[in-house]
A and B are shown apart, each in its own frame.
Chain A
């Protein structure tokens, strides 16, 4: 949908794919009972692995594709209900996936996202995020993330100029996003930090 950052649509030429274990995500995917319907919202782009993982269960997956909105230079790219209007948010969301995107938001945008998430999700529902932790620079656009069949994430950085990472701490994120509470964090071997938030 975008001409601005075509590498977001697929594999970035010249950029190596790295794989990373994501224990908190694995727990989230394994949670819930088989007979209970779960509504997921992936704020990132559509990916085959997640669809495969959720197929066969009582799942609904909403894909907001915020990277697509960012690549289109949409000023409100960080708002899932702007990227995807109300007809798609027809029931409360149980699990939200927000990989790498928080790195591209300033505190004001984080606050606005938090308010929207508070409206779209059930209280107590989970938001899983991946944040840059140790690196000081990152691509100007979010990378491509895909869930592999063994539960690991494949990460392909976007083919774009580098920019500074905000390196948000858990406290800074909680302050910027008052509707979310940090439940657990885990440092990953690719220098990112895995966050599990709970919606207040």
Chain B
């Protein structure tokens, strides 16, 4: 399903809106494997939580927690069985096996597995849902809809517009609360699992936790 590649994550750590942003980040000796079987893609492990904006140019498996925005416009995002997103997501293809609270936009396809728990709006031209999935929200399959055009159509799509914004450095803008808080990015590494290298911002080729 995915190309095998080394994890190339960089996560900047801070707590959005916190007075005392922590900036811990760690190097992972090897990419974590997805229990869901989507091995090979960059992986955010179960102990990692990210609060902010995450974007990249490679496939990503999330087994940790993300709050904010995820942009993988040309790639596949898999929310693994342990993954929890409280986020707005823009991707080419999205597989959900875990928990999502937020809106999902895919230019190609969204696949909801039976273990998924979703509350939010999802929008893609092709959507599949396995019986047993818990879903509450709306599923928009109308590629001519205004919402779809806003997300992917026209020149600067919502996703690309957001991508064009300069990303905030780790710990910066944390004094801004509310909406601006979402722009303040960082990763907060939990305990017990190897994590990824300390990096203020993402590498150019890697998935960024900006």
Contacts and interface: CB of A to CB of B under 8 A. Distances in A.
Interface string B91-108: 000000000000000000
A94 to B, nearest CB: 12
A59 B130 CA distance: 19
A65 B135 contact: yes
A63 B139 contact: yes
Nearest to B140: A60
Interface size class, chain B: 20 to 34
A83 B137 CA distance: 10
Contacts of A51: 127-129, 139
Interface stretch (B30-38, B63-71, B141-149): B141-149
B139 A60 contact: yes
Interface in A117-153: 144, 146
Interface in B124-169: 126-142, 144-145
Of A52, A57, A62, the most chain B CB neighbours within 10 A belong to A62
Of B127, B128, B130, B141, the most chain A CB neighbours within 10 A belong to B141
Contacts of A62: 137-139
A127 B138 CA distance: 18
A61 interface: yes
B26 interface: no
A113 interface: no
Contact of B134 (A37, A57, A65, A88): A65
Contacts, number: 80
A48 B131 contact: yes
Given A58-B142, A88-B121, A63 B136 contact: yes
A10 B116 CA distance: 13
Given A48-B128, A48-B129, A54 B134 contact: no
A68 B137 contact: no
A46 B134 contact: yes
Contacts of A65: 134-136
A55 interface: yes
A56 interface: yes
A1 B135 CA distance: 9
Of B112, B117, B127, B129, the most chain A CB neighbours within 10 A belong to B129
Contact of B126 (A9, A55, A58, A61): A55
A115 to B, nearest CB: 21
Contacts of B135: 45-46, 63, 65
B137 A56 contact: no
A61 B139 contact: yes
A185 interface: no
A144 B132 CA distance: 10
Contact of A57 (B112, B129, B141): B141
B137 A63 contact: yes
18 contacts: A1-B136, A9-B132, A46-B133, A46-B134, A46-B136, A47-B129, A48-B131, A51-B129, A57-B141, A57-B142, A58-B142, A58-B145, A59-B141, A60-B142, A61-B138, A62-B138, A84-B136, A146-B131
Given A9-B132, A62-B139, 18 more contacts: A1-B134, A10-B114, A46-B134, A46-B135, A47-B129, A54-B139, A54-B141, A55-B126, A57-B142, A58-B144, A58-B145, A60-B141, A62-B137, A63-B135, A65-B134, A87-B121, A88-B138, A144-B131
Interface of B: 112, 114, 117, 121, 126-142, 144-145
